[in-house]
Structure 1
Amino acid sequence: MGHWLQRNIVEPGKLPLLLALTAFVLTFLITRVITRMIRAGKGPFGNVSTGGVHIHHVVPGIILTVLGGFGAVASHRHGFGSSAFAVVFGIGTGLVLDEFALILHLDDVYWTEAGRQSVEVVVLTAALVGLALVGFLPFGVDDMSQEELQDRGGVISGVVVNFLFALLVLSKGKVRMAIFSVIIPLVGLFGLVRLARPGSFWAKRFYRRRPRARAKAILRAYRHDRRWVGPRRRLQDLIGGKPDPVVARR
């Protein structure tokens, strides 16, 4: 484990990325725990206000993201400074993306249905950074043997092919499947043979004169969403908390 970490994380300069991802995930989880405690009226935590204005945690998040980002750019990727700024950047990004829905809607929708978008963005961001982290970087590793060079060449070729699969799957409107197909080729192949989602680039381009395919795509998307909307919502509620019930207006 130590040798693998040294060869594939430390030497290629990906340690700051690992630290940033760890700080990002931990910050999001801790923030959600605190906000849920505040919502339930438990613990010593409370909302921060000044002059009657509620200060959302996206504000310090932006400050930390800017500080960590510029600090990381100005630092060497193998030095202590880059690692420290990476942690600051990860913390700031976690605070910002936890309130992504607020930024998107310019409204405090944290505990509403629209607030689920923050959880989705955080999960997708963590997945994307994780993919970049676990991928073997062919540059920056010292004293590689011929066998290692061949292995890394094969990895590069595989990544390129998988990336092309991911682009095609993305054109079919399957965002999550496209992300995971980068490292799991079978996911991309499965996405390619499946019908595209209605409204996607693929559907507009290739189903325009195929009414039967267009109708099947609509029906399949409806069945898929009906099947998975429940489990997906329960997972989002587990991670980020259940939104407030919608009160009907009279």
Structure 2
Amino acid sequence: MPAKLSELVHSGQFPLFLLFVAFLTTFVVTRVITRMIRAGRGPFRDNVRGGLHIHHAVPGIVLMAVGGIMSIAVDGASPASEIAAVAIGIGTSLVLDEFAMILHLRDVYWTQEGQLSVQVVTLTVAVLGLMLLGYMPFGDDSGWLPAHLVMTVGLPVRLAAVVVCVMKGKYSTSLLGTLVPLVALIGALRLARPKSRWARRFYSADKLAHAQRRATNFDQRFGRWGLSLEDLVAGQPTSTVSSE
């Protein structure tokens, strides 16, 4: 066994490493297959049974449940814990690849709204990678804040800011804000996207017009950058409206 792999196994991080690899590999394979299906190429077709399209989030949920239960039942025993980690990685990837569909409760997989799934997967890969490197995204590594204060005050404030960003249609900001709290706080305080739930519910006609002007200006200056990368990963959507 190579020295680096041996160190990883003995450090107790091996199940997390397997989960990370399984998650990333499954997402890449899934996107390749779905894009081939969309293009009508290769042997793959939509999974339809009795007229019902079974989305890959369904087996993903099953694998997540099985892996989660197994990981608790075996209490770290090898190789069951490694098998559980792989099952969780595969299942989580299949579910998050259709996260936008679950959120909207309709098939938005190939739309701009569906690219939220790619953003969520990207965030998850980043978090898993940071955890492998020993950084806990939702903790306080600086040591200057008591752990209980971080959990009882800091984490709820961060989560609230992230939720507000989502309601304001700032999906990219909310995802980055889970890693960088200041980003979430700034996003929560700034104007909402004009078509977001927050804008429709709380904004007057004048403020909505202001939000529309700001969003248009933002999209013209920066919106295409993020979309180009997402188009490369997820495929060209049927509609493209940027969200900051």
TM over 0.5: yes
Question: Is contact 2:71-2:81 (8 Å) kept?
Answer: yes
Alignment of 1:1-250 (within 5 A): 2=3, 6=7, 9-77=8-76, 79-135=78-134, 157=143, 167=158, 174-181=173-180, 197-198=190-191, 226-245=220-239
Structure (1 or 2) with the larger CA radius of gyration: 1
Which residues of structure 2 form unaligned runs of 5+?
A: 166-172, 193-211
Partner amino acid for 1:14?
Q
Match of 1:204 in 2: none
Structure 1 residues 135 and 5 mapped into 2: Cα distance closer, same or farther (>3 Å)?
farther
In 2, Cα distance between the equivalents of 1:191 and 1:62? 29
C-alpha distance in structure 2 between counterparts of 1:195 and 1:61, whole Å? 32
TM-score of the pair, normalised by structure 1? 0.66
Describe the shift of the 1:94–1:176 C-alpha distance in structure 2 as closer, same or farther (beyond 3 A). closer
User: What letter is aligned with 1:244?
Assistant: T
Alpha-carbon shift at residue 221 of structure 1 (Å): 7.9
Identity, % of aligned pairs? 42
Q: Distance in 2 between matches of 1:5 and 1:167?
A: 37
Residues 129 and 219 of structure 1: is their aligned pair in 2 closer, same or farther, counting only changes over 3 Å? farther
Equivalent residue letter for 2:60: G
Task: Deviation per CA, 1:38-81: give whole Å up to 9, x if none.
Answer: 00011111111111111111111111111111111112325211
Instruction: Please identify runs of 4+ aligned residues in structure 1 that moved more than 6 A.
Output: 158-161, 163-166, 190-195, 218-222
Aligned length in residues: 206
Question: 1:200-250 deviations in whole A, cap 9, x for unaligned?
Answer: xxxxxxxxxxxxxxxxxx99887655433111111111111111248xxxx
The Cα shift of 1:132 comes to 1.9
Distance 1:106 1:36 in 2: 21
In the other structure, the counterpart of 1:207 is: none
- Letter of the 1:117 counterpart: L
The CA distance in 1 between the partners of 2:145 and 2:81, in whole Å, is 27
> Structure 2 CA distance, aligned partners of 1:49 and 1:224?
41
Aligned-partner Cα distance in 2 for 1:56–1:194: 33
Separation in 1 of the partners of 2:145 and 2:9?
21
Aligned 8 A contact 2:36 2:44 in 1 = yes
The residue number in structure 2 matching 1:150 is none
> Equivalent residue of 1:157, what SS?
coil
Q: TM-score, normalised by structure 2?
A: 0.68
Gaps of 5+ in 1: 138-154, 183-187, 200-217
Using the TM superposition, give the Cα deviation of residue 13 of structure 1 relative to its aligned residue in structure 2, in angstroms: 2.1
Q: For each residue in 1:133-177, what CA deviation from the matched residue of structure 2 results, as whole angstroms up to 9, or x when unmatched?
A: 21169xxxxxxxxxxxxxxxxx6628989x869959x67965454
